[in-house]
Homo-oligomer: A and B are copies of this chain.
């Protein structure tokens, strides 16, 4: 039984890594579609999100089967329950990438994001992709230095998110109200993406060290 259980855990771990890699790709392509008003790419990102949802369902079913058939306890049990939580965070990161692509599609053929703020969002998207890639590496290696790196990267996303709202509050901000809405929501999506990456990092840290950081709200 033990051997089967280890194989199940291994499989669940690989599926989480696969989800993190797909989520990184989704953010990469979603930002491209938004920055370049590329509606075909946006459609592809939206369609690909269904695959991430499918991966989550598959992983969750496997986790529940493992709970039922192996009845794990202690750290093994926490690992499986943690996997269910991490898959939910990764699925949500996929949704947020999809929201960016949906915005690109909604405003097409106009670009949704004014040029003056585009550099900031490009930077946020770049860091978000790094966060998702780091999550994949963290899940693979359990090297907690990577968890610390993810938290640092997310601080930078938060800083850029605040700078967007500061920019909007400046006297010379003259974008239309709908564009201001698009900019606010885009910033929010990019910021939430990073937060979910941090949730996964904290969960892995907890599973490795047994110590829970309550700042993971």
Contact = CB atoms under 8 A, between A and B. Distances in A.
A184 interface: yes
B168 A178 contact: yes
28 contacts: A53-B217, A64-B77, A64-B78, A67-B77, A67-B81, A71-B71, A81-B84, A84-B84, A84-B85, A85-B88, A88-B88, A95-B217, A165-B178, A165-B181, A168-B177, A168-B178, A169-B177, A169-B178, A173-B177, A175-B177, A177-B180, A180-B180, A180-B181, A180-B184, A181-B181, A181-B184, A184-B184, A185-B188
Contacts of A71: 71
A73 interface: yes
Interface string A162-189: 0001001100010101101100110010
A180 B76 CA distance: 48
A68 interface: yes
A95 to B, nearest CB: 7
Contacts of A175: 177
Interface residues of A, number: 28
Contact of A81 (B64, B169, B217): B64
Interface of A: 53, 64, 67-68, 71, 73-74, 77-78, 81, 84-85, 88, 95, 165, 168-169, 173, 175, 177-178, 180-181, 184-185, 188, 214, 217
A131 to B, nearest CB: 20
Given A67-B77, A184-B184, 19 more contacts: A53-B214, A53-B217, A67-B81, A68-B73, A68-B74, A81-B84, A84-B84, A84-B85, A88-B88, A165-B181, A168-B178, A168-B181, A173-B177, A175-B177, A177-B177, A180-B180, A181-B184, A185-B188, A188-B188
